[in-house]
A and B are shown apart, each in its own frame.
Chain A
Amino acid sequence: MTTETLTETASQAIDTSADLLRFATAGSVDDGKSTLIGRLLFDSKTIFEDQLESVEQVSKDRGNDYTDLALLTDGLRAEREQGITIDVAYRYFATPKRKFIIADTPGHIQYTRNMVTGASTADVAIILVDARKGVIEQSRRHTFLATLLGVPHIVVCVNKMDLVDYSEEVFEGIRRDFTDFASRLRVPDLTFIPISALVGDNVVNRSENTPWFDGRPLLSHLESLHVASDRNLQDVRFPVQYVIRPQSHDARDYRGYAGTVAGGVLKKGDKVRVLPSGLETTIEGIDTADGPVNEAFPPMSVTVRLADDIDISRGDMICRPNNSPAALQDIDAQICWMDETAPLVQGKKYAIKHTTRWARAMVKDVKYRVDVNTLHRDEDATEIRLNEIGRIQLRVTQPLFVDPYRQNRRTGAFILVDEATNKTVAAGMVGTLPHTA
């Protein structure tokens, strides 16, 4: 790329009309994940010369024949020493159309919690399948976790197509197997792309080696995916995060409720209902530091002023009079257990954080544990250990204002925290709600 085109790209890349897309990749060393990320970063000119030099030098010092692009992402000493990825690494690149945040997570089963972490905020999950191996246990596990975390778009990159002579039959066979398996899960949007990360086929540029493929290359697919509508824009949910009351002369009477819109579109003049009080009022104004706005939608951080002076504090939820989340103390949820020191056990109490509200919760029942490879449900399970997924019933000390996770990834999510160690021990997703709610 010449300097001229680079500059042009740059000025477009900072154009504020470009939005943000978060995607998660999962995989192990040998399925080409690092090569794929390396190629996306390299082709988008995101890898800097000194980073590349340092990686080339280390590769040479180790006697490698090739430059190991995994060294770009393996940042911790233990990872470099052991040649493995332990943790979620966040990488960034931008094109004229979008800024991308990659949550790069290790693929092995012992790092399931890392993949859950990376997928929790992802708009897209990229699943890598080795064209020579086809759909394996790991591909199924990654897809299951991505759908569990509600990732709305899944892109299956059938990699190493150069090693199967760019065979359409191989690609179609994998597509069939995968679609068959995915039909057991809820995958809203599933796309298949034949690629070679090493050679660059269909990553950034359309490959001439796959004339039978009529889809887009990976990068243009990621650039064109419409993700804003994946957020729930129907059901107004505004968890009150902080009450702003200036103790100053010029704004003495100001009282605003600050928070991040978790769902729906709030508009000035809308009638709203506040939970838990159930009191109703109207939105007098929506403020930002840059002045008032007419409406607010996810994921904006704004400050809402209400017409009536009612008692509202952190943890309360602003919604619409005819559209409220369920106020529940008994919660049915799927969880991923993340603590290596102790399993989740029936009867134990934890701190729970849901939106901006903390409470305490007791595990009333472990309903089943899911084998993340086979999706088999073990209904005799009484505990859930590190990296395991299970379905549980919680009793919470005070009502939480929840939606099913399928309907809203913010108001359907919670974490459990161990009260003795203060560690975050579980990611939880609210399941079906009782009909009475």
Chain B
Amino acid sequence: MTSHVLSQLRSLEAESIHIFREVVAEMQRPCLLFSGGKDSIVMLHLAAKAFAPARIPFPIMHVDTGLNFPSVLATRDRWVERLGIQLVVASVPEAIERGLVQEEPNGSRNRIQTPVLLEAAEKNGFDALFGGGRRDEEKARAKERVFSFRDDFGQWDPKNQRPEIWDLYNGRVHQGESIRVFPLSNWTELDIWAYIEAEDIDLPDLYFAAEREVVDRGGMLFAVNEFTPLKDGETAEVRSVRYRTVGDANLTAAVASTAATRAEIVEEVAAVRLTERGATRGDDKVSEAAMEDRKREGYF
């Protein structure tokens, strides 16, 4: 302890904690966007650390696409129970039913969850939404601020971002405007996993390799279940797979892997040669500017 050097994981942790405290101190009504994926779980874990021994002083919101893996919902409920926090659920199926959004032809609810999210944020009066986005994920994210300003339609304008100097964050907004805050901006996928291992963080079991029934579609391995049943002519096989991301169950593919523990996953992630989105997310392959377009509309 005499060297006064902080390890890189503890430095990242300290920065994230600083961001949480800053938002809670300055904003009226923050909320944490929780997907049940590993990044939002790490974010929630850090939020709990930032305010200990007090409870997290804001609710979490889950935009429920109705296409969740059951183990993701179970994990969400475990965390809510353990931390004693308030959970707001914004339901996409319910929004489809009342006509706020329409189902897309390809069955993806990625895009249509944005209006549902914005409506719920407005209804609850949230002026700051924490998201688990990381700058290493994608090129458009690499240029987003930690405090990302959104206009009163929830839109991001990449050319009109506030300069962010030192750690002097500016969350000042007018009525109706809001900020998105990304406490994990400077974390990489490897940092996330190293931290999950170091802190022994509770995750959905999907992240860990197991023998699962899958079908190979153009090199992507989809689990055979109610969301992705076998199509005519396809055959299922049992393989050892795990998920690198857990998005909608009908869109998220698994990767062949034998990494069944946190430590094994850290080793695997360190050696892997494909980005996690490129490997497993059908929704990001649409166009080079896919992420920028969705962010402009108010997506995370």
Interface residues in chain A, defined as those with a beta carbon under 8 Å from any beta carbon in chain B: 3, 6-7, 9-11, 13-14, 16-20, 48-51, 54, 58, 72-78, 80, 86-92, 94, 98-99, 101, 113-114, 116-117, 120-121, 228-229, 233, 241-242, 244-248, 250-251, 254, 258-260, 265, 287-290, 294-295, 297, 299-301, 303, 314, 338, 351, 353-354, 356, 409-410, 413-415, 417, 422-424, 427
Question: Contact partner of A301 among B21, B53, B161, B188, CB < 8 A?
Answer: B21
Q: Smallest CB–CB gap between B164 and chain A, Å?
A: 6
- Asked whether A49 and B274 contact (CB < 8 A) given A294-B1, A301-B50, the answer is yes
- A241 to B21, Cβ gap below 8 A? yes
- A75 to B143, Cβ gap below 8 A? yes
In addition to A19-B11, A409-B166, 13 A-B residue pairs with Cβ atoms within 8 Å of each other are A10-B266, A73-B139, A77-B289, A80-B288, A121-B166, A228-B6, A299-B6, A299-B14, A338-B163, A413-B166, A417-B170, A422-B174, A424-B164
The answer to whether the Cβ of B106 comes within 8 Å of any Cβ in the partner chain is: no
Question: CB-nearest residue of chain B relative to A4?
Answer: B271
Residues of A near B139 (CB, < 8 A) are 72-76
- A86 to B12, Cβ gap below 8 A? no
The answer to whether the Cβ of B283 comes within 8 Å of any Cβ in the partner chain is: no
- B168 to A415, Cβ gap below 8 A? yes
Interface residues in chain B, defined as those with a beta carbon under 8 Å from any beta carbon in chain A: 1, 3-15, 17-18, 21-22, 24-25, 48-55, 135-136, 138-143, 158-159, 161-168, 170, 172-174, 185-186, 188, 190-191, 194, 197-198, 266-267, 270-275, 278-279, 288-289, 292
Q: Smallest CB–CB gap between B58 and chain A, Å?
A: 13
Q: Smallest CB–CB gap between A59 and chain B, Å?
A: 13
Residues of B near A427 (CB, < 8 A) are 163, 165-166
- Asked whether A18 and B168 contact (CB < 8 A) given A75-B143, A300-B14, the answer is no
Residues of B near A6 (CB, < 8 A) are 270-271
- A19 to B270, Cβ gap below 8 A? no
- Asked whether A241 and B25 contact (CB < 8 A) given A50-B278, A54-B288, A417-B170, the answer is yes
Task: Please report the C-alpha to C-alpha distance between residue A303 and residue B52 in the assembled complex, in whole angstroms.
Answer: 9
- Majority secondary structure of chain A interface residues (helix, strand, loop or mixed): mixed
- A251 to B142, Cβ gap below 8 A? no
Question: Contact partner of B4 among A14, A89, A297, CB < 8 A?
Answer: A297
- B18 to A260, Cβ gap below 8 A? yes
Residues of A near B6 (CB, < 8 A) are 19-20, 228, 297, 299-300
- Asked whether A244 and B54 contact (CB < 8 A) given A75-B139, A86-B159, the answer is yes
Question: Contact partner of A260 among B9, B12, B14, B275, CB < 8 A?
Answer: B14
Task: Please report the C-alpha to C-alpha distance between residue A371 and residue B160 in the assembled complex, in whole angstroms.
Answer: 26
Residues of A near B289 (CB, < 8 A) are 77
Question: CB-nearest residue of chain B relative to A6?
Answer: B271
Q: Smallest CB–CB gap between B101 and chain A, Å?
A: 25
Residues of A near B54 (CB, < 8 A) are 244-248, 251, 254
Task: Please report the C-alpha to C-alpha distance between residue A54 and residue B278 in the assembled complex, in whole angstroms.
Answer: 10
Task: Please report the C-alpha to C-alpha distance between residue A78 and residue B160 in the assembled complex, in whole angstroms.
Answer: 13
- B49 to A92, Cβ gap below 8 A? no
Residues of A near B275 (CB, < 8 A) are 48, 50-51
Q: Which of A9, A10, A75, A303 neighbours the largest number of chain B CB atoms within 10 Å of its CB?
A: A75
- B292 to A76, Cβ gap below 8 A? yes
Question: Contact partner of A87 among B7, B138, B158, CB < 8 A?
Answer: B158
Residues of A near B1 (CB, < 8 A) are 294-295
- Asked whether A415 and B142 contact (CB < 8 A) given A90-B186, A242-B24, A260-B18, the answer is no
- B50 to A258, Cβ gap below 8 A? yes
Question: CB-nearest residue of chain B relative to A227?
Answer: B5
- B270 to A11, Cβ gap below 8 A? yes
Residues of B near A51 (CB, < 8 A) are 275, 278
Q: Smallest CB–CB gap between A408 and chain B, Å?
A: 11
- B8 to A246, Cβ gap below 8 A? no
- A301 to B166, Cβ gap below 8 A? no
Task: Please report the C-alpha to C-alpha distance between residue A244 and residue B57 in the assembled complex, in whole angstroms.
Answer: 10
Task: Please report the C-alpha to C-alpha distance between residue A48 and residue B188 in the assembled complex, in whole angstroms.
Answer: 13
Residues of B near A77 (CB, < 8 A) are 289, 292
Question: CB-nearest residue of chain B relative to A262?
Answer: B167
Q: Smallest CB–CB gap between A370 and chain B, Å?
A: 18
Residues of B near A295 (CB, < 8 A) are 1
Q: Smallest CB–CB gap between A80 and chain B, Å?
A: 8
- B165 to A116, Cβ gap below 8 A? yes
Residues of B near A259 (CB, < 8 A) are 21
Task: Please report the C-alpha to C-alpha distance between residue A121 and residue B163 in the assembled complex, in whole angstroms.
Answer: 13
Residues of B near A3 (CB, < 8 A) are 271
- A14 to B270, Cβ gap below 8 A? yes
- A7 to B267, Cβ gap below 8 A? yes
Residues of A near B164 (CB, < 8 A) are 117, 424
Question: CB-nearest residue of chain A relative to B24?
Answer: A242
Task: Please report the C-alpha to C-alpha distance between residue A23 and residue B53 in the assembled complex, in whole angstroms.
Answer: 35
- B170 to A244, Cβ gap below 8 A? no
Question: Contact partner of A10 among B15, B165, B271, CB < 8 A?
Answer: B271
- A415 to B55, Cβ gap below 8 A? no
- B278 to A246, Cβ gap below 8 A? no
- B170 to A424, Cβ gap below 8 A? yes
Question: Contact partner of A48 among B14, B170, B185, B274, CB < 8 A?
Answer: B274
Q: Which of B5, B15, B191 neighbours the largest number of chain A CB atoms within 10 Å of its CB?
A: B5
Task: Please report the C-alpha to C-alpha distance between residue A314 and residue B185 in the assembled complex, in whole angstroms.
Answer: 25
Question: Contact partner of B14 among A75, A248, A301, A410, CB < 8 A?
Answer: A301
A to B CB contacts below 8 Å, 17 in the list: A14-B194, A14-B266, A16-B9, A20-B6, A50-B278, A54-B288, A101-B186, A228-B6, A229-B4, A241-B22, A294-B1, A299-B11, A300-B6, A301-B15, A301-B17, A353-B168, A424-B162
Residues of B near A80 (CB, < 8 A) are 288
Task: Please report the C-alpha to C-alpha distance between residue A147 and residue B258 in the assembled complex, in whole angstroms.
Answer: 50
Residues of B near A289 (CB, < 8 A) are 48-50, 52
Residues of A near B8 (CB, < 8 A) are 16, 18-20, 94, 98-99
Residues of B near A258 (CB, < 8 A) are 21, 50-51
